[in-house]
């Protein structure tokens, strides 16, 4: 691997990540079309927790940021989650989950589908950050933001195979086009000359950690893990009427 500058490393890292991701079942063509309705619900339920706890990552970063500039980068990311001029990212995802037939409106509170392996995935982000100095932590954050464009390109292709109305894909299309990484890019370039190893460590950790959770999610869906515990929107309505 050539390490003359950050741009070269970034190209290598992104290409390697996408090559590895392309071998995961759920990112292969046709995977989404073959799923039963309840498998699509499983995807929505588990994915909600895989990405829905990123706020904890941001909270850790904001509290440990060493300067106003870094804090503003974190705060800007949090503000974007609320979409000041439109529907929040949370509500956009709920449009998707409603469309596949599962009601997740109280899931952040109830945590019914937050499996132990997903909890560990999110906790391990924080444990890794707690063991590293700021350059490595900021690199991990930057890598996570870079993967938005790569991961959501793959995820958008997957969910489009569910053949839902176009409005229900907005959550995924928005994230495939976000430019959060651009905000971190210049800062990483400044850190690179004196912190190459830390930056490589941060990007490597996030890439490998992310690939593991996508493989796990793909296996959970294929093997229908937890399918009997699903509560569909129609069942939720029936329970409400019963009360």
- What's the CATH code of the domain at 131? 1.20.910
Mean of pLDDT over the chain: 92
For residue 143, is it within any domain? yes
Identify the residue whose tokens are 């940021």.
Answer: 65
179 lies in which domain range? 44-242
For residue 221, is it within any domain? yes
The DSSP call for residue 84 is T
pLDDT at 71: 97
For residue 204, is it within any domain? yes
Q: Which H or E element spans position 77?
A: helix 68-82
pLDDT at 122: 98
- pLDDT 10s digits, 52-111: 999 999 999 999 999 999 999 999 999 999 987 889 999 999 999 999 999 999 999 999
- The residues pairing with 102 across neighbouring beta strands, listed in sequence order, are 232
pLDDT at 179: 80
Exposure of 29 by Cβ count < 10 A (0-12 exposed, 13-18 middle, 19+ buried)?
exposed
pLDDT at 239: 45
Number of domains in the chain: 1
pLDDT at 2: 54
The predicted model scores a pTM of: 0.92
DSSP secondary structure letters along 137-162: HHHHHHHHHHHHHHHHHHHHHHHHTT
- pLDDT 10s digits, 96-124: 999 999 999 999 999 999 999 999 999 99
pLDDT at 214: 98
Question: 27-31, 85-89, 137-141, 152-156: which range is least confident on average?
Answer: 85-89
For residue 60, is it within any domain? yes
Residue 238, pLDDT > 60, answer no
Query: Taking CA 12 as the corner, what is the angle to CA 10 and CA 17, rounded to the nearest 5 degrees?
Result: 95
């Amino acid at each position: 691997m050539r390490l003359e500058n950050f741009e070269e490393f970034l190209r290598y890292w992104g290409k390697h990540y996408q090559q590895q991701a392309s071998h995961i079942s759920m990112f292969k063509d046709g995977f989404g079309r073959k799923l039963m309705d309840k498998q699509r619900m499983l995807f929505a339920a588990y994915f909600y927790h895989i990405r829905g706890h990123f706020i904890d990552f941001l909270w850790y970063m904001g509290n440990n940021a060493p300067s106003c500039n870094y804090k503003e980068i974190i705060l800007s990311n949090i503000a974007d989650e609320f979409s000041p001029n439109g529907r929040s990212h949370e509500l956009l995802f709920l449009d998707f989950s409603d469309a596949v037939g599962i009601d997740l409106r109280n899931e952040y509170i109830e945590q019914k589908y937050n499996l132990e392996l997903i909890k560990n995935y999110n906790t391990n982000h924080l444990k890794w950050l707690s063991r590293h100095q700021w350059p490595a932590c900021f690199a991990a954050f930057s890598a996570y933001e870079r993967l938005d464009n790569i991961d959501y390109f793959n995820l958008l292709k997957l969910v489009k195979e569910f053949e839902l109305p176009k409005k229900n894909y907005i959550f995924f299309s928005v994230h495939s086009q976000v430019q959060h990484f651009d905000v971190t890019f210049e800062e990483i370039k400044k850190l690179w000359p004196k912190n190459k190893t830390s930056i490589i460590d941060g990007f490597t950790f996030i890439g490998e950690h992310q690939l593991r959770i996508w493989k796990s999610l793909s296996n959970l869906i294929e093997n229908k893990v937890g399918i009997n515990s699903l509560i569909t929107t129609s069942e939720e309505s029936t329970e409400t009427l019963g009360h």
